[in-house]
Amino acid sequence: MSRRRKALVLDFDGLVADTEVLWLAVLRRLYRTYFQELPYASVVESVGGTLHDFDPFTDLSARCGSVDASELEEQAERLFRAWMAYEAPLPGVRRLIAEAQLRAVPLAIASSSREASVVPYLDQFGLRDAFSVVVTADDVVRVKPAPDLYLLAARRLGTEPEHIVAFEDSGRGVRAAKAAGALCVAVPHVLTRSHDFDAADIRLDSLALCDLEDLLSHDPSEVRR
């Protein structure tokens, strides 16, 4: 990779924290509370997107006919926050951050979630100060797969999109990173392994397998999946 690639931009959900799987567990609990089964395929397809892609609360409300979607969302949020209190960053996250800091490589977060669903957990993990830039759905009109989050992250980092390495766990995220012109490392998890990652430059089974020194010292044409 060119030595000009000096910034790392990480997705949050499913990459820094295992929130996607936790949300699945929360939604399953919520649906079963109302004697319904969660449409698993719809949830998997929507990973990396927003409620505009698939809104489980509107879906469950329509099935029940007696509970408002906003009330269901509040119930899910309360349970999610309670369960998140026991969570830690995914394997490899702390080491990647530490190695980037040793090399004075700037770090950023680019998330399709809202700030309130990202920053409190960075604080919980003790990682907020590691990221000089955090951009979320609150900062852009279009979230992933649009490139806006990555373009804004690059701008706030004071660099060009082609000089950053993006880490993503979903097909939508990979498309966003590549549309912005970034080099993209895909790290699928149990819910996204069926996504299309063909556009990614590198694919890892876990962030724990990332060798930052190797990543920063190779030219893109020399990188192999």
Nearest-angstrom CA–CA distance, 95 and 113: 24
Cα radius of gyration (the chain): 18
Of 216, 183, 181, which Cα lies nearest the Cα of 201?
Answer: 183
Nearest-angstrom CA–CA distance, 178 and 54: 24
Neighbours of 75 (CB within 10 A): 17
**Across-strand partners of 13?**
17
| Residue numbers annotated as active site | 11, 13
Length of the chain measured in residues: 225
Provide CB contacts within 8 A for 159, sequence distance 6+: 6, 7, 106
Helix (H, G, I), strand (E, B) or coil at 200: coil
Q: CA separation (Å) from 51 to 4, 20, 47, 69, 154?
A: 37, 13, 10, 12, 26
Q: The tokens 């960075």 sit on which residue?
A: 122
Nearest-angstrom CA–CA distance, 85 and 63: 30
